[in-house]
Structure 1
Amino acid sequence: MAALSVGVSAGEVLGLIASGEARTRSSLARATGMSRPTLAERLEVLFRAGLIHEGANAAPSGGRPSRVLDLDRDRYAVLGADVGEDHVRLLLTDLTGVVVAERLTELPVTAGAGTVLGWVTRTGAALLEETGRSTRDLLGVGLSVPAPVDRATNQVASPSVMAGWEGRPIEALIRAELDVPVVVENDVNVLGFAEHRQAWRDYDDVLFVKAGTGIGSAIISAGQLFRGTHGAAGDIGHLRLRPEDGPLCRCGARGCVEALAAGWSIVRDLRRDGVDVSTTRDAMDLVRAGDPEAVALLRAAGRSLGQAIAYAVNLLNPAVVVVGGSLSGAGPHLLTGVRASVYSHSLPLATNDLRIVEGRHDERSGATGAALLAAARTLRPDVVNDRLRALG
């Protein structure tokens, strides 16, 4: 394999190809300022590593047709696992997020880190074998979990449904069986990352809000997932809108957004009025059936949630606000309330051209987002360069 020369690295060249910024030799030469011989050397390193291929499709350039460079989708893969409260979904995808193989199992998170992660690594190895790959062709694992994650340690922090996972070395447990880079992220950030990469990649600044039984948000800033110092950024559900007279929240404070707008608070209010509901799904079924009280509560929840989103819009000035989760899927009621509050509580400059839309995620989005996070880490220039050096 050719040695890397001084200047733009092979990893940086791969990043330009993967992002779509430059996908022909001529556009790469312009983007990097490299001479054609030096660029050819970088590309040869990537070809030999099996990371890219050159297709026959011509890219319109106004001159001589150029062959398009792209990630090689047939060899390398990543795993994305969505750990839910009562299930685990595992996807094997190529480096662009296209699903190659899938497994779903009913396995509660309370089974513990060893049991859950053991299933992930064993099943991941089986999926590689079934698709004609080996563990040498696996470049990363992404894990979505329903709890906050301390970004410094890649460990679950202050869990709610993940009792027993505190302090467990998730990355080490996975790497003991699959020795590749591991990304551990909370489920809301994973969904927000998936929404951005799959639907809003042309926008650098996106706010994703998940409104379900609980409420959280993911912040995409300058095209990257913003986590904050310890990974706690985006906890919009515990902004205190009515600290003096608001209802009690599950966190122990009064007047939090969750206590006014989450699925569990709608269930609370319906039960207070004698309606026989137990879950957020029950409440949303009533909304879909046109129950006037359930509809009114969801609209009110939208207005409260919209007030919190308005604060975030003033602070972050996103181009797009995406509202997902089970509350957004029960008709237009939540989004109508959100829009009304955002436009009445935000500065005019912050809402110029602002789009407020419903999320597009489905049951695969958590695992897909985890796989996309793993691929993004795998394709970082420093990680690519380390791999190329290891290959010799």
Structure 2
Amino acid sequence: MGETRRSTAAPAGLSSVLALLRDGVPRSRAELVELTGHARSTIAQRVDLLLKSGLLTHGGAASSTGGRPPETFAFAPASRIVLAADLGAAHLQMAVTDLGGTILAQRREVAAISDGPEAVLARVCALGIELLDEVSRPRRDLVGVGVGVPGPVEHETGRPRNPPIMPGWDGADIPGVLAASFRTPVLVDNDVNLMAAGEHWRLYADVDDLVFVKVATGIGAGIITAGRVYRGAQGAAGDLGHIAVPGGEPVACTCGNTGCLEALASRGAVRRAWLAAGRSAEEAGGVSALIATGDTLALDLTWRAGRDIGSVLAGTVSLLNPSVVVIGGSMAMDNPVLIEAISDVILTRSLALATRDLRIVGTGTGSQAAVLGASRMVADHVLSDEAIESLLA
């Protein structure tokens, strides 16, 4: 009997029903019963509650094999909104999205993370309010704020821990400051973790294992394994920029060591090499653009940076065996030479089995990767078993 049959599946709570529908495919009550293995009355109760909340909507009638076609239900991502913030070393990007990652309003501006938490978070609050006003949604529709920062984060508390390029931010209470302004849950993660999550969500949902590499002021990696972000024991997984480059020069790094990838191949490292070669500071900001003109020095420095990055990533590929390596960050935008140099070394030095079906590609989400990942982080949280009852209340 459908009312009493037992199952080893997880209880058919509100979040489990939503999880089945977040792929955008409408399903009937009968299909939800079949997929969860739970009672019709339980599924009916959950569907009715989610319809009242606005998180589900009527999806029309399904095809019928005879008789009245069954009604279907679909996830309604537009029913709630999320505020997402990407704090880079030299930029601030913010967006308002729905629960499906559709960007409703966004803004990007120059900002220095070195200005410290008080100044930067004040600007996050002000810009966030501007964007929320722009989308003209009731403030009660805002269900959470997601933030990415360019340094290690203690995931449980949302506080940065010993971030090398974020002076004054160690232990900063980012969730507390922002929650006071927005009166909603605030989640914080390393920006590259969010880039990996955003790229995975938008373009590679069918891939279980992916590495996203950000090449910009800093260099870091976000790791997706078994479809989830891997953060490590203290949230420091993926700190690629502070791995020593094999055979690299002993250049001092911001972390206190020498010969780190970030010290040899980041935007700052390329700029220093550019100036040391006698080229102008004005040109240094456009090294990537000069590649298209065939500038010999621009090509040489980019190729060298790519090979250094590839030499560190080669070990990462052999260790993690991802299906996809995505190269993003400001240095990689429209820069096929950098990606080619990275690919060349990975394919030469990594295990043959690990590279047999490996794809090494430039980012497809561009500068939006981190805000998409922040949006997904919040959506996953507020629609979880632990949080959804609070959301509906």
Cα distance between partner residues in 2 of 1:218 and 1:71: 28
Is residue 26–residue 72 contact of structure 2 (8 Å, CA) maintained in 1? no
Who is 1:359 aligned against?
363
Query: CA-to-partner distance for each residue in 1:318-347, whole Å, 9 max, x for gaps?
Result: 110101123322432112222221122111
Among candidates 230, 252, 257, match of residue 256 of structure 2:
252
Aligned match of 1:303: 307
Equivalent position to 2:200, from 166, 188, 196: 196
Matched, 1:166 2:170: yes
Q: Is the partner of 1:195 in helix, strand or coil?
A: helix
1: CA distance between counterparts of 2:305 and 2:107? 36
Give 1:148's aligned residue.
Answer: 152
* Bigger mean CA offset, 204-213 vs 156-165: 156-165
Residue of structure 2 in register with 1:233 after alignment: 237
Distance in 1, matches of 2:187 and 2:283, equals 31
Structure 1 residues 286 and 172, CA, compared in 2 at 3 Å: closer, same or farther? same
After superposition, give the CA deviation of every residue in 1:109-155 in whole Å (9 maximum; x if it has no partner).
Answer: 45543444344345545544554433322111101223322223211
Residue deviations 1:223-242, cap 9 Å, x none? 11111112110011121133
Identity of aligned residues (%): 37
Q: Return closer, same or farther for 1:65/1:260 CA change in 2, 3 Å cut-off.
A: farther
- Opposite residue 343 of structure 2, the aligned amino acid is R
Compute the displacement of 1:44 (Å): 1.1
| C-alpha deviation, 1:387, in angstroms | 3.4
Q: TM-score, normalised by structure 2?
A: 0.87
Task: Find the counterpart in structure 2 of residue 281 from structure 1.
Answer: 285
Match of 2:367, SS state, is coil
Residues 1:42 and 2:49 aligned together: no
The CA deviation at 1:156 is 2.0
Number of equivalences: 383
Query: Deviation string for 1:343-381 (max 9, x for gaps)?
Result: 221112211211111112333333333222211221222
C-alpha distance in 1 between matches for 2:86 and 2:23: 25
Q: Give the Cα separation in 2 of the matches to 1:95 and 1:84.
A: 23
CA 1:100–1:62: 2 relative to 1, 3 Å: farther
Amino acid corresponding to residue 175 of structure 1 in structure 2: A
Taking the aligned partners of 2:261 and 2:64, their CA distance within structure 1 comes to: 52
The gaps in structure 2 that reach 5 residues or longer are: 1-9
Q: How does 1:25-40 map to 2 (within 5 A)?
A: 25-40=29-44
Q: Report deviation, 1:299.
A: 1.6
TM-score (norm 1): 0.87
State whether residues 11 and 379 of structure 1, in contact with CA within 8 Å, keep that contact through their aligned partners in structure 2: yes
| CA offsets 1:183-230 (integer angstroms, 9 cap, x no match) | 112222222211111111110110001112321110011111111112
Label 1:57 to 1:216 Cα distance change in 2 as closer, same or farther (>3 A).
Answer: farther
For the aligned residue pairs, the C-alpha RMSD in angstroms reads: 2.8
Offset of 1:164 from its aligned partner?
3.0
Q: Distance in 1 between matches of 2:25 and 2:227?
A: 14
Match status 1:384 vs 2:382? no
Counterpart-to-counterpart distance in 1, 2:371 and 2:54: 25
What's the offset of the Cα at 1:92? 1.6
* Residue ranges of structure 1 left out of the alignment (5+ in a row): 1-5
Matched position secondary structure for 2:214: strand
Residues 67 and 307 of structure 1: is their aligned pair in 2 closer, same or farther, counting only changes over 3 Å? farther
Residues 81 and 97, structure 2, Cα contact 8 Å, conserved in 1? yes
Alignment correspondent of 1:350 = 354
Aligned counterpart in structure 2 of residue 56 of structure 1, from 46, 52, 60: 60
Q: 1:57 and 1:161 mapped to 2: Cα distance? A: 55
Residue 177 (structure 1) shift? 2.5
1:2-27 CA-partner distances (Å, limit 9, x unpaired): xxxx9321121112212458844333
Instruction: State the SS of the aligned residue for 2:182.
Output: coil
- For the residues of structure 1 that align with 2:239 and 2:283, how far apart are their CA atoms? 22
Shift of 1:311: 0.8
Contact 2:153–2:159 at 8 Å: present in 1 too? yes
CA, structure 1 residues 284+173, in 2 after alignment: closer, same or farther (shift >3 Å)?
Answer: same
* Cα distance change on mapping 1:206 and 1:164 into 2, 3 Å: same
Q: Which residue of 2 aligns with 1:3?
A: none
Q: Summarize deviations over 1:69-108 as a string: whole Å, max 9, x none.
A: 3222343111112223454333221100112233455554
Q: Is the 8 A contact 1:263 1:280 kept in 2?
A: no
Contact 1:9 / 1:385 at 8 angstroms: preserved in 2? no
The 3 A distance-change label for structure 1 pair 21 and 253 is farther
Contact kept? 1:243, 1:253, Cα under 8 Å: no
State the alpha-carbon separation in 1 of the partners of residues 209 and 331 from structure 2.
23
CA deviation string 1:18-49 (max 9, x = no partner): 24588443332222112323211111121122
- Moved >6 Å (runs of 4+): 60-64
Superposition pairs of residues 310-321 of structure 1, within 5 angstroms? 310-321=314-325
Is contact 1:212–1:280 with CA below 8 Å preserved after alignment?
A: no
| Structure 2 residue aligned with 1:373 | 377
Corresponding letter in the other structure for 1:189: N
Distance in 1, matches of 2:327 and 2:122, equals: 34
- The 8 Å contact of residues 14 and 381 in structure 1, kept in 2 or not, is answered as no
CA distance in 2, matches of 1:152, 1:87: 25
What secondary structure does 1:360 align onto? coil
Q: Match of 1:79, as an amino acid?
A: L
- Secondary structure (helix, strand or coil) at the match of 1:217 reads strand
Residue 267 in structure 1 maps to residue 271 in structure 2: yes
1 CA distance for matches of 2:123 and 2:263?
36
Distance 1:115 1:244 in 2: 37
Task: Give the residue type in structure 2 aligned to 1:28.
Answer: L
Q: Which amino acid aligns with 1:353?
A: D
